[in-house]
Structure 1
Amino acid sequence: MIQNLASGVQAFTSNVFLVTGETTALVDTGANFDVVARVESALESHLGDAEAATGLDRVYLTHTHPDHVENLPAIRDAFGVETWGHDTDSEYVDHAVADGETVQIGDDTYEALHTPGHKPDHLCLFSRSTGVCFAGDLVFANGGFGRTDLPGGDRATIIESIDYLRDTVGEDLSVLHVGHGPSVTERPADDVEIAARAARMG
């Protein structure tokens, strides 16, 4: 099961996805809200009170912009979990995930896609078996795409990364979970294609 724990939060934060299953994990941790309480509540509902305190196995980071990682210290303190991301030079990343490497999230295997342009350490995570993709801030609903005016951002690079995502997921994409705003559950490949075109127009 995949839940967005940042749903309804009014503060500036990224989405935070809790994926329960064989490897219960967070994808991003968000900022400016009590994510620990939301994780505990969700795990109590899923696992019961006894296992909730130790029920989180891993954290995966799509990238390390503050709105995606500021809650991480609280998550580390509460659950003792380690983190996976692209760049272990970051204080937020314990274990490196390389382009093309596979990781376990919930009950499924996800391929990591290194997709810089918004930030050099950006990853998307795609499960070919289920068609689910965590896209971070690469692309958004309705063809939006990540800003490139922040340090490390680059328009030409993000165009290449969107193309890489589009070519990798193809028509297998069934759900696009994004870093901000609503997930895309109907024809998400269309939104990726629109983003590829929009990025070229700027």
Structure 2
Amino acid sequence: MNPYWNSLTCLYQKGNQRVVAKTKPTYPITIDVITNLARGVDVFTSNTFLVTGETTALVDTGANFDVVSAVREQTDELDRVYLTHTHEDHVGNVEAVREAFGVETWGYDPDNPLVDRELADGETVEIGDDDYVAVHTPGHKDDHLCLYSRDARTLFAGDLVFANGSFGRTDLEEGHRPTLIDSIDRIRETVGEDLDAMHTGHGPSVEDRPFEDIEFAGNAARMG
């Protein structure tokens, strides 16, 4: 059990969905729901996270599966799509999501036709009920972003780092290991050691001391 959960009321955790009430001395209580819609999908896709709340959003659309139906099983409305980067496995469903929900996609490179609105380094946006800052983190791909909320203690890491100290590939076009190491260092310096959750582009989310996984990834990238 993550120590941070001691300060929260857990309504339930089932499968790929976690519901938490942030308990404070005053009301109302806000509810955050983060669901990995790609969990258990046996195709070439990234994870795709649906975050419901005041601003219901997708972080990456994934590829090669019916994400529109998956969204509609959870909510009737979608307000925004945020792209961590534009590798095909993260953006293959963009057109389907645009058509189904009439939403704009936000990403780092406004010249990319898959990006409707620029999301600049350091810009703050709302995801669910929390504010997240966009952090430009190239090295895996030039347009790579992470999204971090200090209040929610949550990081959407894209393909920068993964569970158990793994890190993003640098053998693809635009990949560059020294730049990736710099980006990992930047994220490590940005997030707090009290980081509660790290949602990654592939594999499981990390909810047990994810700051350590970021540190491990930086060390591993230097060694490899």
Over the matched positions of the two proteins, sequence identity in percent amounts to 68
Q: CA deviation at 1:172?
A: 3.2
SS in 2 for 1:42: coil
- Residue 173 of structure 1 and its aligned partner are, at CA, apart by 1.2
> Which runs of no fewer than 5 residues in structure 1 stay unpaired?
44-51
Structure 1 match to 2:59: 27
1:56-135 correspondence runs (5 A): 56-135=78-157
TM-score, normalized by length of structure 1?
Answer: 0.94
The CA distance in 2 between the partners of 1:170 and 1:132, in whole Å, is 10
Considering only aligned residues, what root-mean-square deviation do their CA atoms show, in Å? 0.5
1:98 Cα offset (Å): 1.1
Give distance in 1, aligned partners of 2:189 and 2:143.
Answer: 20
**Counterpart code for 1:201:** M
Match of 2:3 in 1: none
Moved over 2 A (4+): none
Shift in Å, 1:170:
2.7
The 2-side partners of 1:83 and 1:71 are apart by: 11
TM-score normalised according to structure 2 size: 0.85
**Aligned partners of 1:99, 1:82: CA distance in 2, in Å?**
18
Query: What displacement does 1:61 show?
Result: 0.2
One-letter amino acid of the counterpart of residue 137, structure 2: T
**Greater strand fraction, Structure 1 or Structure 2:** 2
Separation of aligned partners in 2, 1:98 and 1:77: 25
Aligned 8 A contact 1:128 1:172 in 2: no
Alpha-carbon offset, residue 130 of structure 1: 1.1
Q: Which amino acid aligns with 2:85?
A: H
- Residues 146 and 157, structure 2, Cα contact 8 Å, conserved in 1: yes
Task: Determine the C-alpha separation between the residues in 2 that align with 1:165 and 1:5.
Answer: 25
Question: 2: distance between equivalents of 1:95 and 1:130?
Answer: 24
Aligned positions of 1:174-185 closer than 5 A = 174-185=196-207
The structure, 1 or 2, with the larger RCO (C-alpha pairs under 8 Å, 6+ apart) is: 1
1:15 matched residue in structure 2 = 47
Quick check: which one's helix share is greater?
1
Aligned partners of 2:37, 2:216: CA distance in 1, in Å?
27
Offset, 1:97: 1.1
Size of the aligned set, in residue pairs, is 192
The residue matched to 2:206 in structure 1 has which SS?
Answer: coil
CA displacement, residues 103-141 of structure 1 (integer Å, 9 cap, x when unaligned): 000000001000000000000000000110000000000
